[in-house]
Structure 1
Amino acid sequence: MKPPQPPLVDAHLDLAHNVLDMGLDLTLPLAELRRRHPRGDLPTATLPALGQAGVALVFATLFASPHHPQHNPDGGYRTPDEAHALAWRQLELYRRWADEGRVRLVTSRAGLEAHLRAWEDDGVPGLLILMEGADPIRTPSELGFWVDAGVRIVGPAWGGTRYAGGSWGETGGLTAAGRELVAAMSSEPRVALDASHLSERSFWEAVEVYQGPLLASHSNARRFVSGERHLTDAMIREIGRRDGVVGAVLYNAFLVEGWRRGDPRPGFEVLVRHMAHVASLIGWERVGIGSDFDGGFGTLETPAPLDGPADLRRLQDHLPAGAFAGVIGGNWLRWLRSWLP
């Protein structure tokens, strides 16, 4: 059965983290995973659900969660070696899924095109690897090791890292090692810089050094929600100036100022408001989706009527004529084709 058209691309899913750190079996149908799930924040995405939704490509993360007395008091990495080991274990999971035929790994432009042709027939999702938080890169000189292993996008920060101020905790600028890493990325044609989670100061310091492809995989507009986690208009314009794409993240607290878990779910209009604002600055052709489904929140923390990846196609009824195919995935594919070797 051919997948739904047009292809859906989600620029941010913490798949391996959800399996290895959260204990979710993402090979299950979504209904079965929810039946087994003990918590109230219902899972939103599994591999079968992605396939059924017609998800052609996911930017799948390597996310090594740092130890933090508030955010992660009982686990997480404390050293670069521990961060490296956690991320490598996640990459090995993606490789195992590929060996099992559950996904296809995409690392090149030719590989992307071959995958999309195969996806038209079998609906198997592709994964392009994104490192969220660069601490698994033990030194800037190790960037090439990870790129050779298949990483194609690196976000230097989550919270503050050894490389950059982030969206919470340490919100300063790039460290000396961070400047070295960004410079190394600028001379490595196989990798792009993800601005999501960079502090505002780190963002501007990074783009002074970095000259390669730029994106924000999962970020919203600070115009509507305050804080370092979101992009200012000037940051959005800079991403657009470099022909990058901004992926909207679907967590309600990142869509509506002051929203708290347990509050009523807003509708799609809050998501579209962020998308339309980004489009007003850099065009609809630079707007995409970076859902972050299950990235610390579940279905009940997303806009209604989202119940799984397939419901993203309902955006067609809320976007301007002609914008839907690009936003749902075409814009990310165009961006990848513009720079993948």
Structure 2
Amino acid sequence: MESVNPPEPPLVDAHLDLAHNVLDMGLDLTRPLEELRRQHASGDVPTVTLPALVEAGAALVFATLFVGPYHPEHNPEGYRTPDEAHARAWRQLELYRQWEHEGRVRLVTDRAGLESHLEAWKKDGVVGLLVLMEGADPIRTPDELGFWADAGVRLVGPAWGGTRYAGGSWNGTGGLTELGRELMAALEDEPRVALDASHLSERAFWEALERYEGPVLASHSNARRFVNEERHLTDDMIRAVGARNGVVGTVLYNAFLQAGWQRGDARPDLEVAVRNMAHVADLIGWERVGIGSDFDGGFGARELPEPLDRPADLRRLEPALPPGTFAGVLGENWLRWLRGWLP
């Protein structure tokens, strides 16, 4: 691998739906970003490819296994059964393994592997992937958690919308189901997997933290202080993540940063993202603030704050953040959290 001398400090993005974009959206993420944009000139403007992540100095990405449930209007091709969800998530994991075989990424599953990857990254710029399951329906029964842990999954978010396990962002305020309570017990017994609280309904969030005492993160969640919707975290929820030494990743979608923003509105500037980060920091400290951009999560560059256009632009946050906080927010806070619990 040719030396690329990636920019420092390292970027860690705690939420990108890479495999979903390839297998469900038909995007070839191995291409340069500008080439992908020319190929998909209509619709959302693509923001992420593997070469764009290398350019950005992305040392690590939390890469999701995300499969959408069936909906007659919004997702008629979605999964209808646990077996279908399982098969589609497995296909996404196989894509990440294929990329690793081709030398495009390195999969990270333990502390030693993280450190060896970071040393190699300084020379070759190859992006590391830590696998996050967003929505737990691919886990057909809670006793299958160990199977996914063996396969390399290190983070599990029980909900997206509502799942068989928990109420979620677009499924009212339901709490954990009986299966969800069993999943919390399985997580308690599986030290290789941490709980992602993003997308949990408020009720499910508190029930999960009551039943599970292991490591917790919110990979891509903003403060409800600015956008009062179930998708976001109340101040008490943010404090609870901080009390468990977790990190909260900021989502850089305008509608999650500015109340009332709609597609087609003028793009706000970076201040909307910085004020969200600052609010979280006021509650739990700058050392627990990170990035979970969700750049490729169903929206494009026109839906990001100015001047964000691609992963490399995340480095433009530096002058907007308080002195001494940029390296932590960009990636070091996530790396410290991972070093604290990875097997």
What's the TM-score once normalised by structure 1's chain length? 0.99
The structural deviation recorded for 1:170 is 4.1
The structural deviation recorded for 1:38 is 4.1
What secondary structure, in the 3-state scheme, does the structure 2 residue paired with 1:339 have? coil
Name the CA distance, whole Å, in 2 between partners of 1:327 and 1:71: 34
- For 1:37, the equivalent position in structure 2 comes to 40
- For 1:12, the equivalent position in structure 2 comes to 15
**Where in structure 2 are the equivalents of 1:78-97 lying within 5 Å?**
78-97=80-99
- For 1:212, the equivalent position in structure 2 comes to 214
Name the CA distance, whole Å, in 2 between partners of 1:250 and 1:68: 26
**Where in structure 2 are the equivalents of 1:6-85 lying within 5 Å?**
6-72=9-75, 74-85=76-87
The structural deviation recorded for 1:40 is 2.7
Percent identity (aligned)? 78
Name the CA distance, whole Å, in 2 between partners of 1:328 and 1:135: 31
Runs of 4+ in 1 over 2 A off after TM superposition: none
Gaps of 5+ in 2: none
**Where in structure 2 are the equivalents of 1:256-271 lying within 5 Å?**
256-271=258-273
Name the CA distance, whole Å, in 2 between partners of 1:307 and 1:285: 26
**Where in structure 2 are the equivalents of 1:1-341 lying within 5 Å?**
1-72=4-75, 74-341=76-343
The structural deviation recorded for 1:335 is 0.1
The structural deviation recorded for 1:69 is 2.7
Q: Contact 1:160–1:171 (CA<8 Å) still a contact in 2?
A: no
Deviation digits for residues 235-289 of structure 1 (CA, Å, limit 9, x no counterpart): 0000000000000001100000010000000000000010000000000000000
Name the CA distance, whole Å, in 2 between partners of 1:71 and 1:155: 22
The structural deviation recorded for 1:180 is 0.4
Name the CA distance, whole Å, in 2 between partners of 1:145 and 1:35: 40
Name the CA distance, whole Å, in 2 between partners of 1:299 and 1:50: 15
Name the CA distance, whole Å, in 1 between partners of 2:122 and 2:233: 35
The amino acid of 1:113's aligned partner reads E
The amino acid of 2:53's aligned partner reads L
Name the CA distance, whole Å, in 2 between partners of 1:75 and 1:255: 30
What secondary structure, in the 3-state scheme, does the structure 2 residue paired with 1:138 have? coil
The structural deviation recorded for 1:39 is 2.5
Q: Contact 1:164–1:198 (CA<8 Å) still a contact in 2?
A: yes
Q: How large is the Cα RMSD of the aligned pairs?
A: 0.7
Name the CA distance, whole Å, in 1 between partners of 2:251 and 2:342: 24
Name the CA distance, whole Å, in 1 between partners of 2:72 and 2:334: 36
Name the CA distance, whole Å, in 2 between partners of 1:47 and 1:144: 29
The amino acid of 1:129's aligned partner reads V
Deviation digits for residues 97-120 of structure 1 (CA, Å, limit 9, x no counterpart): 000000000000000000000000
Name the CA distance, whole Å, in 1 between partners of 2:149 and 2:260: 39
